[in-house]
Structure 1
Amino acid sequence: MIIFVLMNKILFTLCLTFGYFISISQPKNERVERPKLVVGIVVDQMRPDYLYRFANRFGKNGFLRMMQDGNVCENTFINYLPSFTAPGHACVYTGSVPSLHGIASNDWTERASNTHNYCVADKMANNVGGTTKAGKMSPKNLWANTITDELRLATNFRAKVIAVSVKDRGAILPGGHSSNGSYWMDDSNGVFMTSDFYMKKLPNWVSQFNQQNKADFYMKKDWNTLYPIETYIESTKDDNSYESKLRNESNTAFPHKTSTWPLNDIKKVPYGNDMVCDFAKEALINEHLGQDDETDFLAVSFSSTDYVGHYYGPNSIELEDTYLRLDKNIASLFELLDREVGQGNYTIFLTADHAAAHNPQFLIDQKIPAGFLFASTIKTVLDAKLENQFGEKNILSSVYDNYLWLNDSIIKAHNLDKSEIKKVIIDELKFRDEIQYVVDLQYAQLAPIPEKIKQKIINGFVEKRSGDLILILKPGWIDAYSKTGTTHGAWNPYDTHIPLVWYGWGIKPGATIKEVYMTDIAATLATLLHIQMPNACIGTTIQEVLK
């Protein structure tokens, strides 16, 4: 009996010991602390002052919810040139600058082949949905990976990434190289599409969305102001010479008869944002984003703000109305996120790809220095000068986006001195009223210009894709294609000071006053998500916004 009891005790002790070693040898399956979903919102051409200029018109559940319960980085800047849509979206999601990620502008000339290239063009890609031309797109021109790529890598591709925009570049660049779906609108018929870089056929929910003909539904409503027009006191009068007339309108006043416009014009009015918002909400539901243990990512780019800004300018009633409507779009996104993902389970950041200048004529009329530079005028002057000096035509290939491109094939064929050609151009332009500096990009580091501007030029220079010289215009002057509306692309704060607001899981409410940069967004997300930074990221974590 004693032996039996003793044996039982020994057996019991062995079992406990064996069980203990089994337990400590088994790794605990604890989930990394992350939000269920990250939502990245880029508002094309948004200036940070819009958050405050229109604040008394916003509802409590859109922009104001983000600002009051989130963290506002008041001094966020673009740290490269040019300040355009494609490099902006690339920078937000790579945490890098054009010289490293390769997206030199919206389009450029490839130095090796002397051919024009669009930022997301891909001759080998084919349309999935939409039309053939609109489908020849992919992220192949983007040399770096993105924070969305890193999230996919960190989860062994279990995390899902969906990107949506009216513009192809506004969806393709944020989605990165490994997105589960990057969708953009086909300009010709108002439907969302993608390319076979991502998939062979559209998901059923996308086809069903397109079958609703929402673009036609919205455009038939015409565009009138959301509220009585006399309440739009933050804007200039409705009909004025600073704004563009679209589709043979007799004046620039409301209402705009969108019911008579082609469907592809939906991107030029707030209804383009409505379409993107509707599609993003369908993506969230049908792709089951934020519904499992892996963090998903929804990248949404609202681009109609850019078109409205270009056509009507930042002081127009059209722009004010567009932002009041966008505020409602964002509120509706919040409502769906709260219901489907749960308040406190998701993180949102909102920023812009660039900002915008005031219309120069508007400033002139207010006795503020400003003006228009027309690239065609500069090219005509230089063509004559260079032909007279060097005896050859077409030495200057093109002038656009404040860049000058020399024709390398002509220069080589006639054994011309490229350095001497640049010197002649600089001497011809440097005393013109519109121009403050002309910088040889090969030697930008030696240029006698303010350090901040110099660093932006260097960060934006892509040896294989950038022009030979860059024009730095006087403050208030723009590289114009029209005297109405506005544009962007310069180093000045009106183009490079952007909004940045963080909200939700892991975010410390408050305001951050220190100067931060667009490149810091991806770095901050990497820290928040406990994943690697994108492979060309030069940004740093904004510690003040994180709990």
Structure 2
Amino acid sequence: MKPPILAAALLASLVAAPGGAVQPGPAPASAPAPSGPPKLLIVISVDQFSADLYNEYRQYFTGGLGRLSHGMVFPMGFQSHAATETCPGHSTILTGDRPARTGIVANEWIDQGAARDDKKIYCAEDETAPGSTSDHYTVSDRHLRVPTLGDLMRRADPRSRSVAVAGKDRAAIMMGGHDPNTRWWWDGRTFVARAGVAATPAMDSVNRMVAEEIASGRTATPITGICESRRRAIQANGRTVGDGAFARAPGDRSAFRASPDFDRAIVALAAGVRDEMHLGEGPATDLLAIGVSATDYVGHGFGTQGSEMCMQLMALDRTLGEFFDRLDAAHIDYAVALTADHGGLDLPERARDEAIPEAQRADPALNATAMGRAIAQQLGLPGPVLFGDTFGDVWVDRALPPADRARAIAAALAAYRAHPQVALALSRDEIAAAPAPAGPPESWSLLQRLRASYDPERSGDLYVVLKPRVTPISENSRSSAVATHGSIWDYDRRVPILFWRRGMTPFEQPMSVETVDIMPTLAGLIGLPLAPGSVDGRCLDLDAGPGTTCPQ
């Protein structure tokens, strides 16, 4: 096994410009402010990058995250809806809409009419494709009900190009929208595109390098500096976490994915595609959406507060810095927006050691299958009765006669509400009757948060909210994850929202905004008109003075 490669070496080897090395461009701070719309919009989603993590590490960022921290900073952004998962979160960023409008209520939902045994529908699949299953599916945008910024840009001016590159197919779909020029994602083995799209030299180069990286394995990265202070071994679900340094055995793709090397490869591919397509060099503004996913895999696999997360964020800062330096060297006039699809909760074992005694793992009896079995026995009903997970949307078997369904719903609500780990359980009728939320997202009631995630066709018959700091991964579960996200609570809802463009006057606005505000803000920056009321978000003025970047 070999030692880690520096981010600079990996990026240089994968995306070196034809004809030689790129020379450094002018320092961003010293360059004059460009006039007119930027030539390239770069929208970056850092999967599971909570506002808590951003604020914890902000003082240490010196690369790309450091640059953005000296731009237009909204440290209290919100994925304001209830279901804080990857697919719903990514669906808000470039549509300007909450899940109630995008239709993306979760990573998966139950369709009891689906022609498959488990009845699960994945948010980024075409379940009508021949032979499709919830595990082996055709990637598709068919479930996204609204256009993205890239879709609208291409409709307004066909010369605009829209590209998405991501570590997850659902990130590439939800940010790329319905009609991107191209999009690439990691399929678990290699970077791919939709069927019929030929590989490019950049993709081939990245895939070759990644294959070599995975095949050769990796020795441990030294834990130094601030990350050493976060190093402490913790036992969780039969594993030791908190003192790791991303060593991996030859051939271990899962360990590669949960390491800084994964984000380096994603950004390298994005940089290579930018070069190949000359994005930002054409007659109209182009869009490059990038979904970096390693932070999420690190968060799930190791938690958010150990040496692993520290090393991941320091590496991401360097990788993004090198990417921005490359754009500067190419003299591209670009604007950046960076946010996250959701936050995350650290593992309860470490939280209990660090002044949060109420942190705990969920009771296995809360799983919908177990709860449904108990209710079936209580009411003398056949079948599974309930479908779902430990929290969130729960569906009641629609094969039951109406009277029995009503009894099952009432019994499920009573059982969930009586459980000491449950904060709230509501029926779909109670959620649907609530008005659409408005006002500052931190002031929304739990019901309003649920309403922002509610879709009448896809949402469950009831919704279960666990109490704060209850991790919905049970003790001794078979899951490889030790920590997770997805809750209605602010540690999962709050994310940073950062904007940067060369020459803009930086400012920081600590009051709350939403991720749905990113799309109309960027539309305002490039002069793309939006019909009043067509999106849930609002344009944020990125001019620190009396001027405005929003439509008048």
Note whether the superposition's TM-score is higher than 0.5: yes
* Counterpart in the other structure of 1:164: 165
Deviations 1:263-307 (A, max 9, x none): 354212111101101101101101111112211111001101100
Q: Distance in 1 between matches of 2:57 and 2:389?
A: 37
* Counterpart in the other structure of 1:349: 337
Q: What does residue range 400-479 of structure 1 map to in structure 2 within 5 Å? A: 400-409=390-399, 411-412=400-401, 415-444=402-431, 451-479=444-472
Deviations 1:363-413 (A, max 9, x none): 22334222221455444244223332243332223334422211112x13x
* Counterpart in the other structure of 2:93: 92
Structure 1 residues 214-223 or 436-445, which shifts more?
Answer: 214-223
For residue 345 of structure 2, give the secondary structure of its aligned residue in structure 1.
coil
Q: Distance in 1 between matches of 2:341 and 2:139?
A: 20
- Pick the aligned partner of 1:148 from 150, 173, 178: 150
Q: Distance in 2 between matches of 1:123 and 1:251?
A: 37
* Counterpart in the other structure of 2:351: 363
Q: Distance in 2 between matches of 1:508 and 1:119?
A: 39
For residue 259 of structure 1, give the secondary structure of its aligned residue in structure 2.
coil
Deviations 1:141-172 (A, max 9, x none): 111110111111111x2111111111111111
Following superposition, the deviation at residue 76 of structure 1 comes to 0.9
Q: Distance in 1 between matches of 2:284 and 2:542?
A: 26
Name the aligned partner's letter for residue 351 of structure 2: L
Q: Distance in 2 between matches of 1:299 and 1:532?
A: 20
> RMSD between aligned alpha carbons?
2.8
TM-score by length of 1: 0.83
Q: Is the 8 A contact 1:162 1:299 kept in 2?
A: yes
Q: Is the 8 A contact 1:150 1:532 kept in 2?
A: no
Structure 1 residues 291-300 or 107-116, which shifts more?
Answer: 107-116
For residue 403 of structure 2, give the secondary structure of its aligned residue in structure 1.
coil
* Counterpart in the other structure of 2:45: 42
For residue 260 of structure 1, give the secondary structure of its aligned residue in structure 2.
coil
Q: Distance in 2 between matches of 1:158 and 1:64?
A: 33
Deviations 1:507-537 (A, max 9, x none): 5410012211111111111111111349952
Q: Is the 8 A contact 2:394 2:461 kept in 1?
A: yes
* Counterpart in the other structure of 2:235: 241
* Counterpart in the other structure of 1:495: 492
Name the aligned partner's letter for residue 482 of structure 2: G
Q: Distance in 2 between matches of 1:177 and 1:530?
A: 21
Q: Is the 8 A contact 2:231 2:243 kept in 1?
A: no
Q: 1:147 to 1:375 in 2, by over 3 A?
A: farther
Q: Distance in 1 between matches of 2:444 and 2:209?
A: 51
Q: Distance in 1 between matches of 2:215 and 2:539?
A: 43
* Counterpart in the other structure of 1:515: 512
Name the aligned partner's letter for residue 422 of structure 2: I
Q: Distance in 2 between matches of 1:86 and 1:78?
A: 12
* Counterpart in the other structure of 1:74: 75
Q: Unpaired runs of 5+ in structure 2?
A: 1-34, 438-442
Following superposition, the deviation at residue 231 of structure 1 comes to 4.2
For residue 509 of structure 2, give the secondary structure of its aligned residue in structure 1.
strand
- Pick the aligned partner of 1:540 from 538, 541, 548: 538
Q: Is the 8 A contact 1:135 1:194 kept in 2?
A: no
Q: Is the 8 A contact 2:242 2:308 kept in 1?
A: no
Q: Distance in 1 between matches of 2:221 and 2:199?
A: 36
1:321 correspondence with 2:311: yes
For residue 418 of structure 2, give the secondary structure of its aligned residue in structure 1.
coil
* Counterpart in the other structure of 1:260: 250
Q: 1:225 to 1:451 in 2, by over 3 A?
A: same
For residue 300 of structure 1, give the secondary structure of its aligned residue in structure 2.
strand
1:204 correspondence with 2:193: no
Identity among equivalent pairs (%): 23
Q: Distance in 2 between matches of 1:208 and 1:399?
A: 39
* Counterpart in the other structure of 2:266: 276
- Pick the aligned partner of 1:62 from 61, 64, 78: 64
Q: Distance in 2 between matches of 1:211 and 1:363?
A: 38
Following superposition, the deviation at residue 497 of structure 1 comes to 0.4
Following superposition, the deviation at residue 50 of structure 1 comes to 2.5
Following superposition, the deviation at residue 210 of structure 1 comes to 4.8
Q: Distance in 1 between matches of 2:259 and 2:215?
A: 9
* Counterpart in the other structure of 1:139: 141
Following superposition, the deviation at residue 214 of structure 1 comes to 2.4
Q: 1:482 to 1:58 in 2, by over 3 A?
A: farther
Following superposition, the deviation at residue 134 of structure 1 comes to 6.8
Q: 1:420 to 1:341 in 2, by over 3 A?
A: farther
Q: Distance in 2 between matches of 1:223 and 1:270?
A: 14
Q: Distance in 2 between matches of 1:518 and 1:326?
A: 21
1:120 correspondence with 2:124: yes
Q: Distance in 2 between matches of 1:206 and 1:390?
A: 60
Q: Distance in 2 between matches of 1:482 and 1:47?
A: 25
Q: Is the 8 A contact 2:221 2:247 kept in 1?
A: no
Q: 1:244 to 1:124 in 2, by over 3 A?
A: same
For residue 428 of structure 1, give the secondary structure of its aligned residue in structure 2.
helix
Deviations 1:90-130 (A, max 9, x none): 1111111112111111111125548311111125679xxxx
* Counterpart in the other structure of 1:22: none
Q: Is the 8 A contact 1:125 1:195 kept in 2?
A: no
Name the aligned partner's letter for residue 161 of structure 1: S
Q: How many residues are paired up?
A: 492
Following superposition, the deviation at residue 480 of structure 1 comes to 1.6
For residue 471 of structure 1, give the secondary structure of its aligned residue in structure 2.
strand
Q: Is the 8 A contact 1:149 1:177 kept in 2?
A: yes
Q: 1:279 to 1:481 in 2, by over 3 A?
A: farther
Following superposition, the deviation at residue 498 of structure 1 comes to 0.3
Q: Distance in 1 between matches of 2:466 and 2:203?
A: 47
Deviations 1:413-434 (A, max 9, x none): xx43433322211212212110
Deviations 1:446-483 (A, max 9, x none): 68x98521111011011111111111111111222567
Report which of the two structures shows the higher radius of gyration computed on alpha carbons.
Answer: 1
Q: Distance in 2 between matches of 1:135 and 1:399?
A: 21
